[in-house]
């Protein structure tokens, strides 16, 4: 019977990868402490190192997305205001 693979939580992967990036302990020590193969520790270390800049880059992307959303909402507000004004005018003309 084939053994199922272990599934590790994202928090554990981040902790192990960060420990490896910091370098206070060796990859072998970290692997031993967490019952993980050293190759896996190295892979998570590489992932943390490669994706770390994204943490600081998302602020700019989120701000740009927010600006686009605000612009679209302002456009919609303007459109709805014009439609409401037109409907009020037509209601007055029809005596409603």
**What digits encode the pLDDT tens for the residues 50-62?**
998 887 776 677 7
Residue whose entry in the numeric block shows the structure tokens 């020590």: 29
Residue whose entry in the numeric block shows the structure tokens 């770390």: 52
9 with 23: CB under 8 angstroms? no
Average pLDDT value over all residues in the chain: 90
pLDDT confidence bin for 1, thresholds 50/70/90: low
Residue whose entry in the numeric block shows the structure tokens 């600006």: 67
**What digits encode the pLDDT tens for the residues 17-48?**
999 999 999 999 999 999 999 999 999 999 99
């Amino acid at each position: 019977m084939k053994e199922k693979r272990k599934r590790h939580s994202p928090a554990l992967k981040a902790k192990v990868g960060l420990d490896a990036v910091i370098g206070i302990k060796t990859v072998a020590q970290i692997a031993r402490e967490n019952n993980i193969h050293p190759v896996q520790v190295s892979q998570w270390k590489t992932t943390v190192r490669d994706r770390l800049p994204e943490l600081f880059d998302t602020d700019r992307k989120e701000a740009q997305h927010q600006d686009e959303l605000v612009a679209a909402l302002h456009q919609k507000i303007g459109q709805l205001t014009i439609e409401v004004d037109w409907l009020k005018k037509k209601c007055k003309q029809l005596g409603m």
